[in-house]
Amino acid sequence: MATMKKIVIWILILIGVFILSDFLIYVGLNSTYKDIERKDNNSQIVVYQADATSVNGRIRGVIKDAKQIQESYLKIELYTERNVLAGRKYIEIEDVEGNETQPFELLFKAKNVAYYTIETANEKEEGTELEILPKEWTKPEIILATALTFLIFWG
């Protein structure tokens, strides 16, 4: 019976450590994000979260009455404090029925973003969109990276 109590106590301690570490990681990561300013007056696009660290950020929002601006793009431009363009991303506005809203999300990697603007555009300007999101790796790239990691640690 004494060993059963010890096992239960160790399980409760492990669960407690897991919950505490998860909470501290969440608080630690989210405390590094600072709000970034929006410098446009488009009331049809509502942004409910826009924040960035010194190296990455996120912008989340919804498009109200997306039916009115169908078959076009949201053009989001990111700027530094010195008004230098840090990145540009186009988000396609989907076909919706009625007066529905469309959510959008932009996760970006750009340094020192201080503010952003959002406009609607009928078409993408080719060659002007900066790659601000990392491209997804292919399966062979993942296998190669995994193998190299194992060689580094076991070598």
**pLDDT tens figures, 73-94:** 888 999 999 988 888 888 888 7
Amino acid at the residue 135: K
Q: How confident is the model at residue 147 (pLDDT cuts 50, 70, 90)?
A: confident
Do 74 and 42 share a structural domain?
Answer: yes
**Better-scored residue on pLDDT, 14 or 121:** 14
Percent of the chain predicted with pLDDT > 90: 21
Count of alpha carbons within 13 Å of 128, Cβ hemisphere only?
A: 11
Do 24 and 52 share a structural domain?
Answer: no
Residues with Cβ < 8 Å from 96, sequence gap 6 or more? 66, 67, 70, 102
Comparing C-alpha atoms, which of 30, 37, 60 is closest to residue 114?
37
Amino acid at the residue 149: T
pTM of the model: 0.68
Strands 57-63 and 102-108, bridge-based pairing? antiparallel
Do 109 and 97 share a structural domain?
Answer: yes
pLDDT at 68: 65
Helix (H, G, I), strand (E, B) or coil at 141: helix
H or E segment and range at residue 3: helix 2-30
Please give the residue range of the domain that contains residue 4.
Answer: 1-31
What is the number of structural domains in the chain? 2
Q: How would DSSP label each residue in 15-64?
A: HHHHHHHHHHHHHHHHTT-EE-EE----TTEEEEEEEE-SS-EEEEEEET
